[in-house]
């Protein structure tokens, strides 16, 4: 029997087109026009498609899905410091997309810049000189510490780290990279090598050679390792660190750690790469976290909040002595979309908003207020809460057990506050709201936390 391939293909495409049109109609509807029927279709269809076409694993881990997977909170819109699910329930965002919403959700200035740029030119020709890339690079040189000057643009954190590692390798004939335990630098093969978590790394061995991990915050171990590397002829090319570890559970190192690391790098001729993908753009109460410690790296990696929560954007900024190895052949490291006009417009507006609205200062002030409030709320619950720590609006609550953290974040979610914490990883819950969060909202969150702990 012959199969009529053409008819089959036509039917397939007709179905696909109809389905795409149905979704486009929903996208193009205003929020008020979404009916209850739309909302329940969106919810059920999302769950079904996650199960059949995305990854059913997510349905087991997300606190937003009920045990029988019949109900799930499906996000639909966002604004300011909160977002709404498709049924119109509002959530205060204390997760901040793990640090992408520093200037708030859909900050009007960022939206306007991106919109205007989109209507002018969205992506670049790849051949002419694109002006926004140039302007953003100058801005980054102005606001980053020390003599950081030249920028390479990326689309994500992991790409920024990859570029930082390549710059370090080009700088000298050395290839040893020191990273830290509990580090997170991304999941592409190079950055994954620096990332410290065994479950993410082990299945993908062998990774990039030349990496070693030392205990984070332990300057003596760092020194001994650098010395040993020198003695055996495998001198350290670069030390790669987060100034505060994010994924590791908001781990703040001793105050003298980064300055001492900087001094060790100088002593042994190694570069210092700081991964400020999460800590940068005002999150910890300074524009860049390393400024708390008076330390300037040779290479800084940025992403997450750089695009203002509107467009994915990343950057690597390096000093001239490091970056100049990219000069002779600028094609030695490239990316098609990195530094595109939409991303640059978003980043330029984001920097403008951060400075004009004093958001780093605000993060310091509101962060201190929130940290104290949370600590007060946790008093008497030492059986559940081990420690609350942080800097600026990067706060971690460490629980005695994973399960307590998961129950806690689920309870908060039911009460309209989103914090990190999934079934797999909830021992330390991160609180990283937009830096624009209002004091009333912080008070509401603290009250909800107090209630949930009871």
Ligand X SMILES: *Cc1c(COP(=O)(O)O)cnc(C)c1O
Give the whole-angstrom CA distance, residue 64 versus residue 50.
Answer: 13
Report, in Å, the least distance between residue 186 CB and ligand X.
4
CB of 255 to ligand X, least distance (A): 20
3-state secondary structure at position 92: strand
The nearest distance, CB 335 to ligand X, in angstroms, is 13
Closer residue to ligand X in complex, CB, 86/240: 240
Return phi, psi of residue 208, to 5°: -70, 135
Q: Which chain residues interact with ligand X by CB under 6 A?
A: 156-158, 161, 184-186, 242, 246-247, 275, 277-278, 303-304
> In this complex, which beta carbon is closest to ligand X, that of residue 186 or of residue 433?
186
Q: How far is the CB of 188 from ligand X (least distance, A)?
A: 7
Strand partners of residue 238 = 177, 271
CA 117 from centroid of its chain's CA atoms = 24
Of 64 and 245, which has the nearer Cβ to ligand X?
245
Residue 259: which of 216, 292, 300, 226 has the closest Cα? 292
Ramachandran angles phi, psi of 271, nearest 5°:
-85, 155
Cβ proximity to ligand X, 81 vs 275, nearer residue: 275
Instruction: Return the DSSP state at 416.
Output: T
The residue number whose beta carbon is nearest to ligand X equals 157
The secondary structure of 20-34, three-state, reads HHHHHHHHCCCHHHC
406 CB burial (10 A radius; 0-12, 13-18, 19+): buried
Please tell me the distance from the alpha carbon of residue 344 to that of residue 208, in angstroms, as a whole number. 31
| Residue (133 or 182) nearer to ligand X, CB | 182
CB of 161 to ligand X, least distance (A): 6
Least distance in angstroms from the C-beta of 273 to ligand X: 11
Contact 265, 319 (CB under 8 A): no
Closer CB to ligand X, residue 187 or residue 324? 187
């Amino acid at each position: 029997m012959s199969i009529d391939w053409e008819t089959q293909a036509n039917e397939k495409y007709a179905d696909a087109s109809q389905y795409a049109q149905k979704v486009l109609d929903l996208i193009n509807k205003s929020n008020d026009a979404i009916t209850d029927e739309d909302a329940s279709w969106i919810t059920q269809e999302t769950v079904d498609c996650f199960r059949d076409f995305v990854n059913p694993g997510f349905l087991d881990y997300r606190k937003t899905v009920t045990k029988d997977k019949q109900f799930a909170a499906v996000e639909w819109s966002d604004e300011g410091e909160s977002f709404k699910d498709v049924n119109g329930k509002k959530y205060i965002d204390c997760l901040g997309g793990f640090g992408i919403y520093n200037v708030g959700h859909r900050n009007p200035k960022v939206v306007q810049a991106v919109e205007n740029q989109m209507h002018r030119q969205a992506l670049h020709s790849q051949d002419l000189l694109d002006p926004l890339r140039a302007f953003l690079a100058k801005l980054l040189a102005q606001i980053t510490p020390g003599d950081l000057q030249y920028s390479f643009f990326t689309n994500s954190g992991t790409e920024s780290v990859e570029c930082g590692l390549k710059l370090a390798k080009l700088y000298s004939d050395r290839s040893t990279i020191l990273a830290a335990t509990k580090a997170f630098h991304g999941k592409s093969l190079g950055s994954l090598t620096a990332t410290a978590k065994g479950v993410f790394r082990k299945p993908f061995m062998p990774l990039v050679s030349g990496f070693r991990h030392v205990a984070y915050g332990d300057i003596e171990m760092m020194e001994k390792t650098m010395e040993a590397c020198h003695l055996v002829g495998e001198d350290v090319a670069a030390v790669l660190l987060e100034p505060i570890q994010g994924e590791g559970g908001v781990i703040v190192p001793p105050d003298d750690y980064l300055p001492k690391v900087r001094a060790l790098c100088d002593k042994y001729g190694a570069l210092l790469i700081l991964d400020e993908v999460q800590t940068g753009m005002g999150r910890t109460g300074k524009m860049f976290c390393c400024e708390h410690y008076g330390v300037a790296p040779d290479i800084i990696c940025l992403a997450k909040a750089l695009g203002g929560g509107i467009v994915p954007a990343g950057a690597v900024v390096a000093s001239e002595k490091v970056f100049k190895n990219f000069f002779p052949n600028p094609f030695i490291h490239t990316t098609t979309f990195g530094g595109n006009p939409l991303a640059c417009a978003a980043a330029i507006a984001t920097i403008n908003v951060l400075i004009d609205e004093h958001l780093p200062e605000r993060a310091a002030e509101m962060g201190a207020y929130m940290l104290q409030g949370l600590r007060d709320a946790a008093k008497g619950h030492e059986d559940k809460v081990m420690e609350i720590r942080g800097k600026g609006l990067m706060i971690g609550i460490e629980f005695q057990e994973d399960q307590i953290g998961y129950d806690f974040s689920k309870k908060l979610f039911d009460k309209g506050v989103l914090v990190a914490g999934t079934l797999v990883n909830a021992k330390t819950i991160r609180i990283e709201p937009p830096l624009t969060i209002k004091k009333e909202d912080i008070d509401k969150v603290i009250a909800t936390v107090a209630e949930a702990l009871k």
